[in-house]
Every structure is written in structure tokens, then in C-alpha cells.
């Protein structure tokens, strides 16, 4: 698709406590964050260091909430084995995953903020899971994961992006304009973060596909954009969108 890609989003919300039953307006804050981050209209995008500004990209994809499914449960945590995606296991089956991005919002547990399925997997489990504490603009209570960037990162995976360090020491993320990184970076690294991978260069710690705090990540590159957009062309894995 060369025309505008608008991703219809279905939120599947599983709650036990009132706090987990987040409001429609809270859900909308997450959609708003995605619309900013994927169009480079997030205010912090402009703080990208100049050495990376030339490759920083506007992905040009937007998101539209089509439906929220809410279901009360007795589960205290759902783990990472996709039970939340299955009505038979007490969760909620996805809605038309070939044409909707399904998000599951629930308590995951184990310190996991979110997880995603890469393109090409089973349609029955296609989508992204985000812990309800880190969904949308969640205020001081969930600092430093309170700016909705867990969903930005996980949807990056759903659109075929790897971690910037390639999940191995000085690994390859299959994107040429992201510099090699030694490993995941946490917190908010001070720029420049000189890489321990050679030849000497600075790491792009502010990329959404690193592991920094939410306020430390604010850009995708044009190389990552190309990798994402390749899914949506005719014959691509997500051509249905």
C-alpha cells in the first residue's frame, strides 16, 4: 500500500480489579501516543541528536480504535503463553486479526511490560499484549514506563522490527541505518553513549527498539520504516491492512 496505512485497533481488556479495568479515556491516550510516535509528531522526536537526525523517520502509519472488549476474570496474572488470547482459557479470542491489530490489556506478571507476536505467526494469537499498568499515559504511579512507549515498542515487533542490539552481543537487527549496539540499554543513557562494539561509534539508545525508560526512547529510523512498510504491500504478510 502506497496510500495511507490506518491500522484498526481492537482492545481486549481483561480485568479482575477496578484498577485493571482502565477507562476508555485511558485507552484513548495510548492510541494518541501511537499516532504521535508513528508519525514523528511526538514532541521529543525533535530532541534526536543531530548525528541521527538524518536517519530519523516518520513511519506515517496511524491507528484508530474500533472496539474495546471488556471481560471480568478471576486471574491475578496471565503470563506470556497467550492464555489471554483464548476464550477457552478465560481470555478473549482476537477479532479478525488479518484486518485488525488486536491488543490485549491485562496483568502479565513476572515484571513483563508487554510482548508481541512477529508477523508470520498463527493468526489465532496475532497481536500485542500490554500490561494494564503500562497502557497509555499512566501518570506518576507507573514511572518510568508511563508514556505509552511499551505499546510503541511492541507494535514495532508486530511490524517485524528486532531489538536494536539484535538480541546478541553487537548483533544485527537487519536494519542498516541503526548502529550496532552491544546489548540492551536501560534507564536514560546520557548522549553520547559510546558503543563497546567496534569500530568506535555512538549507540542509538533513543530508538524505540532499545530497552530504555519511556522518556529515553523517541524515534524510529527510515530503515526501520522500510522494514515495517514492506509488510503492508500487496503480497506482504500484513497486506490485509
Task: List active site positions.
Answer: 154
Give the nearer residue to ligand ARG in terms of CB position, either 92 or 108: 108
Q: How far apart are CA 65 and CA 136, in angstroms?
A: 13
Helix (H) or strand (E) holding 8, with range, is strand 5-15
Residue 194 neighbours by CB under 8 Å, 6+ apart: 200, 201, 202, 203
The single residue among 48, 107, 117, 150 that binds ligand ARG, judged by CB under 6 A, is 150
SS3 of 103-129:
EEEECCCCCCCEEECCCCCCHHHCCEE
Pick what 178 binds: ligand ARG, Ca ion, none; C-beta below 5 to 8 Å, kind-dependent: Ca ion
| Burial grade of 194 (CB within 10 A; 0-12, 13-18, 19 or more) | exposed
| Burial grade of 7 (CB within 10 A; 0-12, 13-18, 19 or more) | buried
The residues in 199-218 that bind ligand ARG, with binding defined as CB under 6 A, are: 211-214, 217
- Tell me if 149 contacts ligand ARG by CB under 6 A: yes
Give the nearer residue to ligand ARG in terms of CB position, either 143 or 174: 143
- Tell me if 173 contacts Ca ion by CB under 5 A: yes
Instruction: State in angstroms the smallest separation of the CB of 201 from ligand ARG.
Output: 23
Instruction: State in angstroms the smallest separation of the CB of 233 from ligand ARG.
Output: 27
Instruction: State in angstroms the smallest separation of the CB of 46 from Ca ion.
Output: 23
Q: How far apart are CA 26 and CA 43, in angstroms?
A: 20
Total site size for ligand ARG, rule CB under 6 A = 13
Instruction: State in angstroms the smallest separation of the CB of 109 from ligand ARG.
Output: 11
- Tell me if 153 contacts ligand ARG by CB under 6 A: yes
Pick what 30 binds: ligand ARG, Ca ion, none; C-beta below 5 to 8 Å, kind-dependent: none
Give the nearer residue to ligand ARG in terms of CB position, either 149 or 162: 149
- Tell me if 44 contacts ligand ARG by CB under 6 A: no
Q: How far apart are CA 108 and CA 132, in angstroms?
A: 8
Q: How far apart are CA 59 and CA 229, in angstroms?
A: 8
Counting every residue written for the chain, the total comes to: 241
Applying CB under 5 A, the residues found at the interface with Ca ion are 173, 175, 178
Amino acid at each position: 500500500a502506497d496510500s495511507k496505512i490506518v491500522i484498526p485497533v481492537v482492545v481486549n481488556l481483561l480485568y479482575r480489579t477496578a484498577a485493571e479495568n482502565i477507562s476508555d479515556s485511558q485507552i484513548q491516550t495510548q492510541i494518541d501516543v501511537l499516532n504521535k510516535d508513528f508519525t514523528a509528531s511526538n514532541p521529543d522526536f525533535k530532541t534526536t541528536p543531530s548525528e541521527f537526525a538524518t536517519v530519523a523517520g516518520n513511519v506515517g502509519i496511524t491507528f484508530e480504535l474500533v472496539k474495546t472488549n471488556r471481560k471480568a476474570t478471576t486471574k491475578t496474572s496471565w503470563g506470556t503463553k497467550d492464555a489471554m488470547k483464548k476464550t477457552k482459557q478465560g481470555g478473549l479470542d482476537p477479532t479478525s486479526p488479518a484486518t485488525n491489530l488486536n491488543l490485549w490489556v491485562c496483568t502479565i506478571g513476572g515484571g513483563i511490560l508487554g510482548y508481541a507476536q512477529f508477523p508470520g505467526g498463527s493468526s489465532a494469537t496475532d497481536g500485542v499484549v500490554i500490561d494494564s499498568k503500562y497502557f497509555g499515559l499512566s501518570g506518576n504511579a507507573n514511572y518510568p514506563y508511563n508514556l505509552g512507549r511499551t505499546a510503541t515498542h511492541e507494535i514495532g515487533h508486530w511490524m517485524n522490527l528486532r531489538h536494536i542490539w539484535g538480541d546478541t552481543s553487537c548483533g544485527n537487527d537487519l536494519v542498516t541505518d541503526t548502529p550496532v549496539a552491544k546489548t540492551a540499554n536501560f534507564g536514560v543513557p546520557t548522549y553520547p553513549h559510546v558503543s563497546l562494539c567496534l569500530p568506535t561509534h555512538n549507540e542509538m539508545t533513543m530508538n524505540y527498539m532499545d530497552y530504555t525508560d519511556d522518556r529515553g526512547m523517541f524515534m524510529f529510523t527510515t530503515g526501520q520504516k522500510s522494514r515495517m512498510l514492506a509488510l503492508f504491500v500487496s503480497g506482504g504478510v500484513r497486506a490485509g491492512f
